[in-house]
Structure 1
Amino acid sequence: MTSLRHRGGRDMTLGLIGYGTIATELLATLQREVQAPLARLVCLARPEGAARATALLDRHAALATDRRVVHRTTDLAGLDLVVECAGQDALRAHGPAVLTAGIDLIVASVGALADDAFHTALRDAAVHGHARIHLPAGAVGGIDALKAAQLAGLDDVLYRGRKPPAAWKGTPAENLLDLDDLDGPRVFFTGSAGEAARSYPKNANVAAIVALAGLGFDATRVELAADPAIARNVHEIEFRSRAGTVAIRIENAPAPDNPRTSLGTAHSLARAVLNATAPLVI
């Protein structure tokens, strides 16, 4: 158990952009791990989502006695840290303003950074506001090793993503495969991480973080597949550098109410929140 305290010694204030699957698991994890409550917990939500956001905060009342649902980005002013877990559109709409206001931002929708113009705008906002953008590893591991290998000199990076067919419904894969009648694994996308992140924005955040830690969006190779024989989301990363060769395989349980999202994503965000105030950071 730990306490979320600002570096100045006071209790931390935390904001959320989003109130869905990832936000729910994030708050549940923090409530289990945090000993002392936050000074304030704020959720940015659309007016039509206010009731759902309020219910989410109330279910985690032990995290903060001061809980608020707000509808404007400006209402997040003064917070210590904001976590985006609502998708690429929400990040585009609110991320730059949060950073310009001097608030550090933890980003779940890393795939949005495949857009060079937005990537630049987000970084410029952080510089202007003297704030920091935190990009957690999300559903995968080994990003620390990949980033270190980048410093050594990378030769090649490949990311393979395999998920059950249901996880690809509502994506362009539906036009390429009969997802309800697959008799074996089928690769339906091969290309760059940038192409994957733009074409499969709700599925390819892993490809994006691999690209950002390694060779970039254009040079990182990606394969995406649907596999009826698996029940979990499988991520494989292979890379070669002057420092050696690494192969990583991870099987993530999908979120119960959203098979496109790996359950580990929320735990990665929780780790980033805890690390923001921890005296020992791993």
Structure 2
Amino acid sequence: MRVAVIGYGAIGSFVIEHLKADPSIEVTATFSLPRPETSSIPVVESIGALLATSPDLVVECAGHTSLRDTGEAVLRHGTDLLVASVGALADPALEHTLRTAAAGGGGRLLIPGGALGGIDAVSAAREAGLDSVEYSGRKAPKAWKGTRAEQLIDLASVTRATAFLECDARTAALQFPQNANVVAALALAGLGFEKTRVRLLVDPGADGNNHTFVARGAFGEISASIRSTTLPSNPKTSALAPYSLIQTIKKRAGLILA
């Protein structure tokens, strides 16, 4: 299978290097702005040039703005698009644009579970009768630096796990584009952005990024708790996030059957 990647940052380069180790997958090129100083694969300078490499699948790993700028073109080209920046879909206009492009162009919009487990179970629960979904994300102060959290709480003075935001999933995903992609994935799988409740915490004692959720309904109850180490190059990102992309790609290639 031929795969092209948008973005060559912490996630994009990680995904590319792992895919290159599989002889059944060819990484055709990456489109990244700014252009990386070095790259192990060809670098192109436009989304059109990326699509000209004839990929079977394009993987977006470059953030919300990049998805807004490139996602529609990929889908209207008829190429499947795997999205890392799931939180961008909390923008109703963008979600509508991409779903419309997928319906009209033939390319499929693929949403990975990211760092959060249990997404398939939540999707099944939605069919069986889902009443509530509550998510809690707890990370160390360094994971919240450079985000809106600095306006809501003094990260340097926190001595124990402290919640600084309680809101719906749409608010969390749009206000924390680098931290809340798992929230968006959970919302899309379950009750939607408005009905998914979110609690964000800073914890100086946190070991990695911690995600928990509880879903309740006529089907019963689902609860999950995950602690993931972070990418060395980006403490905001759980290490499971790029591995979720890699697994989805391998499933798409028929290398994983379950």
Shorter-normalised TM-score: what interval? Answer: over 0.9
- Whichever of the two has the greater Rg, that structure is 1
Alpha carbons 2:60, 2:84 under 8 Å: kept: yes
- Say what the alpha-carbon RMSD is for the aligned residues: 1.3
Q: Counterpart in 2 of 1:6? A: none
Alpha carbons 2:84, 2:112 under 8 Å: kept: yes
Out of 49, 58, 61, the residue aligned to residue 35 of structure 2 is: 49
Letter in 1 for 2:17: A
Equivalent pairs counted in the alignment come to 256
Query: Moved runs in structure 1, 4+ residues, more than 3 A?
Result: none
Q: What are the superposed Cα offsets for residues 137-169 of structure 1, whole Å, 9 maximum, x if unpaired?
A: 001100000000000010110010000011111
- Unmatched segments (≥5 aa) in structure 1: 1-11, 59-66
CA distance in 2, matches of 1:197, 1:89: 13
SS in 2 for 1:223: strand
Q: How far off is 1:241 after superposition?
A: 1.9
SS in 2 for 1:49: coil
Structure 1 position 228 matched with structure 2 position 214: no
Alpha carbons 1:76, 1:98 under 8 Å: kept: no
Letter in 1 for 2:242: A
Q: Counterpart in 2 of 1:76? A: 50
Mark the CA change 1:167 to 1:114 in structure 2 (over 3 Å): closer, same or farther. Answer: same
Out of 124, 146, 167, the residue aligned to residue 191 of structure 1 is: 167
Letter in 1 for 2:30: C
Percent identity of the aligned residues? 42
Alpha carbons 1:108, 1:136 under 8 Å: kept: yes
Q: How far off is 1:24 after superposition?
A: 2.1
Letter in 2 for 1:249: S
Structure 1 position 139 matched with structure 2 position 115: yes
Q: How far off is 1:128 after superposition?
A: 1.5
Q: How far off is 1:277 after superposition?
A: 1.4
Alpha carbons 1:238, 1:246 under 8 Å: kept: yes
Normalised to the residue count of structure 1, the TM-score between the two structures is 0.88
CA distance in 1, matches of 2:24, 2:165: 46
Alpha carbons 2:119, 2:186 under 8 Å: kept: yes
Q: Counterpart in 1 of 2:4? A: 15
Structure 1 position 115 matched with structure 2 position 101: no
Q: What are the superposed Cα offsets for residues 207-250 of structure 1, whole Å, 9 maximum, x if unpaired?
A: 10010000000000000000001121000010012111011000
Mark the CA change 1:279 to 1:169 in structure 2 (over 3 Å): closer, same or farther. Answer: closer
Letter in 1 for 2:47: T
- Unmatched segments (≥5 aa) in structure 2: none
Q: Counterpart in 1 of 2:67? A: 91
